[in-house]
Every structure is written in C-alpha cells, then in structure tokens.
Amino acid sequence: MNTLGRWLRIVPIAAILMSLSIGLSGAWFGDVDNYRESRMPVGNAVTDPNAILQYALPIDNAPVRRMQQAIEVMSQDLRGGQRWSAVSSDIRTAKNTLTIKRDELLADVSADRRDQAIAIIDELKERVATVEAAIENRDRDTIWAQRRMMLNTIGQLEALMVGEFPFEIPAEYADLPQLKGRATVEIETEKGSIELILDGFNAPITAGNFVDLVQRGFYAGTEVNRAEEYYVVQAGDPPGADDGFIDPATGKERTIPLEIKVTSEPEPVYGATLEDVGLYRESPALPFSAYGTVAMAHRDDDPNTASSQFFFFLFEPELTPPGLNLLDGRYSVFGYVKDGGEAVLSQLKKGDKIVSARVIDGLDYFVPGHAA
C-alpha cells in the first residue's frame, strides 16, 4: 500500500553523519547536527537481545548485575588474544558472587520462589567449576558454550527477582490493552517461524496492543509490505484501504501513544519523542541496537498514530553503529527476535505472508482493553 512509503522511509544520511544511519521517517524532528552530537555512542553498546532484556528487567540487585557483566565480558577477553588471566578473573568474580554474596542474591527473591533461586545458584556453581577446568585446559569452545548457558541461567535468576509491576499506567490509556510482564509470540511465515520476546515491563501498552491483535487473529494472512536488506522488514498493514486496526467496538482505527522507557526514569515517556521532552541524551531501556529489534511504525507527522503496522530492525553494526541511528527515542520498541530468528528474517521479501501468529507464553500477563 502506498501509505507504507509515507510511514516508513529509509533515509541514507552517510554524508551528514559520516556513517550510514537509518531514519524511518522523512521528518527530522530538529537540527541534524545537534541530534548527531546527542546520539554519539558511549562505551560498548549491548547488541545481544538477551542481554538487553536482562538489563531491562525492573530489578535493583547489584551482585547479580556484577556477575552478569563479568560473564559477558569474557567474550571480549577470549577474542582479545585469548587473555586467560582476564578470563580467570571474570569467572572468579562470578564464583565469589555465588558464594560470598549468596544471601544478597536471594534477598530480592520472594519466599515462594526461594527454592527455585537456590537451585539456579547451585547450577551456576557447577558451571563455574566447568569453566575453571576449561581454563586450565585452554578449552575455548567449552568456555564459549558455558558462557552462553550461564548468561541464560543468570537471566532466570534475575526474572525471579521481579516483584510487582513497577509503575502505574496513566489513566488516559487505561482502556487500551496492556501486557504487564513478558510474553513470547510465534509468528509463522511462508519462510519459516520467528519467536519474539515482548517486554511489557518497559512497553506495556505497545506490547499489549500487539498481543491483543495476535489474539484476534489480525495478522494471519497479512503480507510483508516492506523489506529493505540490512535495514527493516515491515508488516501489519491490513488488506483494503485502512492503514491499521479498526476496532469493531467503535468502528474507528485504534491507535496507541508513543511509549519509550529510558533507563534513568521510573516510568515510560508517553506521547512525545525523547527529543521533544529533553531526554535525547538518555538511553532507552529497549534500544535499536540488536538485530531483530521489534517496534511499531507510525505516521510521519504524528508519533501517536501507531496501530497495527510493526517492523523488525535489521541491525548491522558496520552500517548503523549503536548511538548513531535516528530511531532511538522516536519509535516504540516492544521486543526482540529470539535466537535463531535471524535466518528467517533475512529471507523475508515484500509480499511474503504471515501464516499465523500466536502467544505461546506469558498470556497471563495480558490485560484486555476495556472496549475489547
């Protein structure tokens, strides 16, 4: 549909930013040079969607974060000339956290989850011992495999630390569907299936809207309506003249507000870009820094017009360095593609169909809209 060209334009600006960045709209929302300065990368951006989701959990437990960071940095130490002393230091940090800081790890876990947490800590201790032996034997492959499994297991421990939903959704949006937790959605396409992790802790309205449409069967039979290699794949445009979801209860298009949570604020920013509210230097909890980032499309002239069309950001570090894209703060990210989805995403072309979409986990966190 022609409206896609209006909703989602790829804007190459290599000459301006001295690097290829991608804007999903022709609107610049302000001075380009100032925006460039505000989005310069700081440090090593996290590009692993699993790590992004772990850091985005609403928890405040310093020992578990320190342990996670120590295991993550092992990858740099292994690549950097296989610095075995540094790898040994990393695993020692994890070991000390699991022993000396055990009580602090368990302090944020509710009593009914304590046994699960203890079992996870015991499992992590066993994996630490396996890595220690692998370091002695200079067994790089075992360390790589154990590192990934340890990060996944640490993520399970962090999930047990999450308590009540961390903030109150504004009353003006209370009638919209919400996801007050995380859910997994499987999208079956003609090229294969993709699993998405939706983050309702940081984008409850955006993720809730998507879950609601999945539950309605809205996406089944719709087509990929834009596919730009190395940039984006977009879908969710219904057949016919409408651009989005027409709510049968009202007969009107249902739209949702722009919703962006920054790491320094307790609640998301609603209805305005981060630049509009002076938070353009802040880091989104859910950034466009991982392949398969999932976000909602909206019209050029109004960020509060997202309805049903969504897109996958095909992040390539060489083309879009973290911190130099024009998407963060302007589009609502609500999830990431799980491991393995890249192979399918890279094959999707314009006209490929979504066969089905279904929620396979986390539906108990879904709150239907009042008019649903």
The CATH topology of domain 8-47+177-367 is Cyclophilin (2.40.100)
What's the pLDDT tens digit per position in 353-371? 999 999 999 999 999 987 5
Q: Using DSSP, how many helices (H) and how many strands (E) does the chain show?
A: 11, 14
What's the pLDDT tens digit per position in 319-333? 666 556 689 999 999
What's the confidence (pLDDT) of residue 109?
A: 98
Closest CA to 83 of 32, 144, 138, 141: 138
**With bands split at pLDDT 50, 70 and 90, how would you rate the model's confidence at 3?**
very low
**Residue 78 contacts residue 172 (beta carbons within 8 Å):** no
Q: Start-end ranges of CATH 1.20.120.290 in the chain? A: 59-160
pTM: 0.85
- Residues 239, 209, 203, 269: is their CA dihedral positive or negative? positive
**Residue 189 contacts residue 318 (beta carbons within 8 Å):** no
**Residue 328 contacts residue 287 (beta carbons within 8 Å):** yes
Closest CA to 286 of 276, 294, 277: 294
Q: What DSSP state is assigned to residue 262?
A: B
- Range 59-160: architecture per CATH: Up-down Bundle (1.20)
